[in-house]
Amino acid sequence: MFLKSRNGRGLLKDLAYGAIGGVVGTVVMGQVTSFMYRFESEEKKRREELARPEEPPQAMARRLAEDFLHVKLSDEKKKKLGEAMHWGYGMAWGALYGVLHDRAPALSKAAGLPFGLAFWFVGDEVVTTAFRLTGPPKAFPVDAHLRGLVGHLAYTAAADGTYRALRRVAG
C-alpha cells in the first residue's frame, strides 16, 4: 500500500521529512551553484543571461500574476513571489523524494543520485523549457548545464542526509 512505506512509516512523515530535506537541499544547492558560477567566464555568463533574462521562479511568478490574475507585479513583488516559489519548489521536490525514498528505493541509492539526475533533467532541462521560463537547453553554455547538474546532485545528497537523520532521530 502506498500510504505506508516498506518499513511501515506513514506517508505524512515521509512528506514532512522530505520537505525539510528539500529546504536543506535548496540551501546547499544555492551555495554550490553560486560557488561554481564564480569560475565561469564573462562570455558564458552573458550567454546565459541572454537565454535566461529573468530567474525561472520570477518568470513563473510574473506569468501567473499577469496571465491568471491579470495583475502587474512590481519588480519587488515579483522578486518576493519568485523567491517564495523557489523555496516551495525545493520543498515540493524534497517531499516527493521523501515519499519515494522507500517506495521506489532505486531512486534513493547512492544518497539519491538517481533522483538527483531526474530532478535536474526534469527541472532544468524540461520544465523551464516547456513553460518557456528560459531559452531552450541549446541556448545555454555547457557550463550552465554542468552547474545545474552538480547543484541538483548536491541538493539531493543534502535532502537525503536530512531525511535519513530525521528518520533516525524522530522515527
- The pLDDT tens digits of the residues spanning 63-95 come to 999 999 999 999 999 999 999 999 999 999 999
Q: How far is CA 171 from CA 108, 155, 165, in A?
A: 18, 23, 9
Query: Does any domain span residue 38?
Result: yes
| Tally of structural domains, the chain | 1
Looking at the predicted structure, is the pLDDT value of residue 1 above 60?
A: no
User: d(Cα 169, Cα 146) in Å, to the nearest integer?
Assistant: 34
Ramachandran region, residue 71 (left: φ > 0; alpha: ψ -120 to 50; beta: rest): beta
| Residues 22 and 97 sit within 8 Å (Cβ to Cβ) | yes
Quick: pLDDT tens for 101-132: 999 999 999 999 999 999 999 999 999 999 99
**Does the structure show a pLDDT above 90 at 9?**
no
In a domain, 58, yes or no: no
Tell me, yes or no, whether 116 lies in a domain: yes
Rounded to an integer, what distance in angstroms lies between the CA atom of residue 158 and that of residue 37?
A: 20
Task: Tell whether 65 is covered by a domain.
Answer: no
Would 69 be classed as within a structural domain?
no
Over residues 132-153, mean pLDDT: 95
- What percentage of residues in the chain have a pLDDT greater than 70? 95
Q: Which residues pair with 10 in a beta bridge?
A: 4
pTM of the model: 0.91
Using CA atoms, how far apart are residues 166 and 171, in angstroms rounded to an integer?
7
State the residue range of the domain holding 138.
Answer: 11-52+85-170
> Is 93 within a domain?
yes
Is the pLDDT confidence value at 55 over 70?
yes
The values of phi and psi at residue 47, to 5°, are -60, -40
Residue 163 domain-assigned? yes
Residue 77 lies inside a defined structural domain of this protein: no
Taking all residues of the chain, what is their mean pLDDT, rounded to a whole number? 93
What pLDDT score does 10 carry?
Answer: 86
Whole-number Å distance between alpha carbons of 66 and 72:
6
Contact 128, 89 (CB under 8 A): no
Per-residue confidence (pLDDT) for residue 117, from 0 to 100: 97
b/e for 9-22, b at 16 or more Cβ within 10 A? beeeebbbbbbbbb
pLDDT reading at 143 higher than 70: yes
